[in-house]
Amino acid sequence: MRRLRHLTSSHRTGATNRALGYLMAFNAGAINAGGFMVLHLYTSHMTGFVSMLADNLILGNTALVLSAIGALLAFTTGAAVTAILVNWARHMRLRSAYALPLLLVALLMLLFGLVGAVTMHWETLFAVPLTVLLLSFMMGVQNATLTKMSHATIRTTHMTGVVTDLGMELGRMLFWNRAGRNASQQVHANWGRVRLFSGLLAMFLSGGIAGAWGFQHWGFVCVLPLALLLTVVSLPPLWADGLHWLRRRN
């Protein structure tokens, strides 16, 4: 319970970083896979949209070019909003530097769960429904928050870097560096990093399975429990900052 209270606090430890990373990897996997079930687009990572942009510039498909640009701009804007919130909170010496953007993600998830079925029919200037831009923005906020929080050690919205780092650590286990004619020295893997990257990958996959199943059976409302959980873990630092502000006022 103590770790849960400090999960989004500005004071970070390796344990709280890992725990929050696992939770947010599950969240991103659920949103990404579940969103695909209704939108037929993966919105948690931008590699596909960059490729879509390049391909359709050559093919002359204006609608898909606009779709890719819209998603990229929404994700980038989300990351920029995170930087503004975190840097402002640090400047104000708040405990909720990371809780603020994660609460924003939770509120957007609540909005998505409650009115996503409506907004998926609202077309935008970028030839995609408003829901696509909302999810891309949300994932930009989440990815930037975890990146800043962990000093770029933990990323949760895409698994390319995670799988690469995991493979590198496993490769270290298999490599033997010949130190002499009759001597050898094993290059040891960092087991902490192996567990971290394996856990992130497993949670993203688990979230994807849960999200796909939830959207298939319940629709948009399946994200509401995750949104409420993220709200709960974001509130303690904000509550502490509110109490501190009231004490200063008195």
Q: How many residues does the chain have?
A: 250
CA distance 248 to 157: 39
The neighbour count for residue 36, using CB atoms within 10 Å, is: 17
What angle do helix axes 130-149 and 62-91 make, rounded to 10 degrees? 40
pLDDT of residue 10: 84
Q: What is the pTM of this model?
A: 0.88
Take residue 102 and report the two structure tokens written for it.
Answer: 């994660």
pLDDT of residue 179: 45
pLDDT in 10s for each residue of the chain, 250 residues = 556 667 888 888 888 999 999 999 999 999 999 888 888 888 888 888 999 999 999 999 999 999 999 999 999 999 999 999 999 999 999 999 999 999 999 999 998 888 877 777 778 888 888 888 999 999 999 999 999 998 888 989 889 999 999 999 888 877 755 444 444 455 566 888 899 999 999 999 999 999 999 998 888 889 999 999 999 999 999 998 898 888 887 7
Q: 145-149 — which CB contacts under 8 Å span 24+ positions?
A: 145/82, 145/86, 145/98, 145/101, 145/102, 145/105, 146/20, 146/21, 146/24, 148/82, 148/83, 148/86, 148/98, 149/12, 149/17, 149/20, 149/98
pLDDT of residue 249: 78
33: closest CA among 159, 202, 214, 156? 214
Across 18-156, the runs of DSSP E, i.e. the strands, are none
Task: Give the rounded distance of the alpha carbon of 107 from its chain centre.
Answer: 15
pLDDT of residue 3: 61
pLDDT of residue 167: 92
CA distance 25 to 30: 9
Report the relative pairing of strands 176-178 and 184-186 from DSSP bridges.
antiparallel
CA distance 66 to 82: 24
**Cβ pair 138, 105 in contact under 8 A:** yes
